[in-house]
Amino acid sequence: MFHARLLSPHRGSAGTPALLDALARASTRPRYAFMLLGLIAEVADASGHAGPFVLVEGRAVTLRDWLCDALAPMGGRDPRRLAMVERVRADLARDGHLPDETAAAAQMIEDEVRQRIRASGKANLSRAVSELVAAGLLARHYHGYAVDHPNRGAQRHAVYTLRGAARCLLPRAPMPTPPRRPARQMELAFK
């Protein structure tokens, strides 16, 4: 029987392969963590800081809410999500809150499902962020009322900073092109 020692071909290299290697070793859900890092990089500034707010259609949304909403479509076909829609419909009908108008009822169900998904999404997000922080791929602190503070609460919101191999996800500035000197025909140097 052969026992091959598995080595990552990307250990010590830079860029996305190194990031994927780090995620595979550090995260219980590496694909989810990679999507999360990609979304954070999308709204991060040049130094890798994202949050505490993201502008969405002209209004400020907390980074955590935006991340949960952005990741929510990934579970759209999950049987548990479909069952949640039916549970919400039944709960609203049982409590007498479901309007008779079909469009209004559908909107109320959609809003309630979105709130429940956001609540469960925050738990998933916190777990993934904690793994990324432990792996050195992300830093987390809280910003809000009065001063930055290491503890959440009291109107403080999460700020994430990409670190280590995760910085490869930040957009790179285009390489500057050297200024071109216009070509001149028949140019002779006079002494």
Concatenating the DSSP letter of every residue in 121-148 gives HHHHHHHHHHHHHHTTSEEEEEEESSS-
Per-residue confidence at 185, pLDDT binned at 50, 70, 90? low
Over range 22-30, report the average pLDDT: 93
- Cα diameter, the chain: 99
Per-residue confidence at 157, pLDDT binned at 50, 70, 90? confident
Question: If DSSP codes are grouped into helix, strand and coil, which group holds residue 155?
Answer: coil
Amino acid letter at 186? M
Which pLDDT score is estimated for 154? Answer: 56
Query: pTM score, two decimals?
Result: 0.71
Helix 102-134 and helix 16-26, axial crossing angle in degrees, nearest 10: 90
Over range 71-80, report the average pLDDT: 76
Number of neighbours of residue 154 by Cβ within 10 angstroms: 10
**Stronger pLDDT, 188 or 17, i.e. the higher one:** 17
Cβ(54)–Cβ(63) below 8 Å = yes
